[in-house]
Structure 1
Amino acid sequence: MKQTPRRSRAAQKVFRKQQLIDATIDCIDRLGFSDTTLAKVADRAGVSQGIVIFHFKSKDILFLETLRFMAEEYRNAWATALEEAGEDPVEQLCAVVRADFNRSVFNRKKIAVWYAFWGESKSRPTYMKECGSLDEAHTEVLCDLCRKVCDQGGAIVDPQIAAFAIEGMTDSLWQRYLITPKSIKKQEAANASFELMKALFPSKATQIESLKPNKK
């Protein structure tokens, strides 16, 4: 019987740290921020508490690394979408907005954990820094893309206002999906954002409509 090759020590370390971060996300989602402990994370991951301490030293470090993982995951989602969208600013804008409803980030568990971290950020400067820098980068990209679309003509508002409106729509849809996930489907949430963009950029409405996610 052929044996599965063992992971290298470096690969094993990466695997174990990701396993513990995933377990932390699960625990925060199920138990809340304050009730998530190293012992419960270890139990969720099926390892000893000593393993958690070996890789992360403390609960604070584990939580910060979990937040950084989620921030990087979200940043990669929209940055990759932007890179793959081509040169047309309308296509780029639609790609970035579609990424907000990517299954990897737009799911009840991840949204719940995001809100948990945001709730703690007022009293934890390190969390505020991570969350704030992520928001700033996303807002900057949206503003730049909205400006480029406005430069092509047909916009009804200032590009910054358009960017803020799009972000506000996304935030409200994320919140609604968290609180009442059965009240709105992912496809409906994404389409709502595209309808807003059509209203903001009426001269681009036909193109935006054609770029809706999973449009049949």
Structure 2
Amino acid sequence: MTKTTATPARKRRAMPKQDRRIQLIKATISCIANKGLSNITMADITTEAGLSLGIVNLHFQSKNNLLVETLRFVVDEYNEGQAKILKKRSSKTTQEILEDHLAFDFSAKVCQKDKLAVWFGFWGEAKTRPTYQKICTESDNATELSITALFEEVIHEGKYSLADAAIITKGYTAIVEGLWLDLLIAPGAFNRKNANQVARTYLAVMFPKHISL
């Protein structure tokens, strides 16, 4: 009996630090999705992760630190995915990159319900939490700059003389975020395919030589 109960403890200690942190972050994501950002407790997180409060404190020191790192995790995951697509300029056409970016924004990984709940949960708290606001703002700005640069290439290539990349980017990001919200609050009535088609229609109007319906 002693041997059986000791084995899980050894396994917990043997898990690499980064893996343990990710385990706790994923448990936090699940708790935010189920209870809302303002309602979750450390007890919720430890129960979800199957770990003790001491383990959480060891890796994050406080609930606030854990929440901040959870936000960073979701933000970094999106930004890294976007950057990976945009780095393929030398091997893909501008049209292919535009298609890939559209597909990425409505992929299963990005539009996972739990992660969308995290995005909107933290956005909702950003006005009163400077740290959340800083992370969200920096991410939004980086995303807009990247998309604007891509759209500028599309405009130049397609000779869309009256198009303004910055304005089209504002419209695109507003549409995408609105569609993400629809996917979060009405998943039964709206799906990723529907959302992709709405965003595609907008881009097809802006860049008819590059996106078709």
Shorter chain as normaliser: what TM range? 0.7 to 0.9
Q: Distance in 2 between matches of 1:109 and 1:8?
A: 25
1:202 maps to 208
Partners of 1:7 and 1:94 in 2: CA distance: 44
Structure 2 Cα separation of the partners of residues 203 and 31 of structure 1 = 45
Q: 1:18-43 CA deviation, whole Å, 9 max, x = no partner? A: 11000101111111112211121001
Write the mapping of 1:14-93 to structure 2, written as runs, cut at 5 A: 14-84=18-88, 86-93=91-98
* Residues 91-170 of structure 1 aligned to structure 2 (within 5 Å): 91-152=96-157, 153-154=159-160, 157-170=163-176
Partner of 1:182: 188
Structure 1: state its 5+ residue gaps: 1-5
Q: Equivalents in 2 of 1:36, 1:167: separation in Å?
A: 29
Q: Distance in 1 between matches of 2:140 and 2:176?
A: 12
Q: Structure 1, residues 75-100: CA drift from partner, whole Å, max 9, x if none?
A: 11211122246353332233222211
Between Structure 1 and Structure 2, how many residues are aligned?
A: 202
Given the two structures, how large is their TM-score scaled by the length of structure 2?
Answer: 0.87
Listed as ranges, the gaps of 5+ residues in structure 2 are: 1-9
CA 1:133–1:48 in structure 2 vs 1: closer, same or farther (change >3 Å)? same
> SS of the counterpart of 1:183?
coil
CA distance 1:10–1:196, shift in 2 (3 Å): farther
Whether the 8 Å CA contact 1:155–1:200 is kept in 2: the answer is no
CA-based RMSD:
2.1
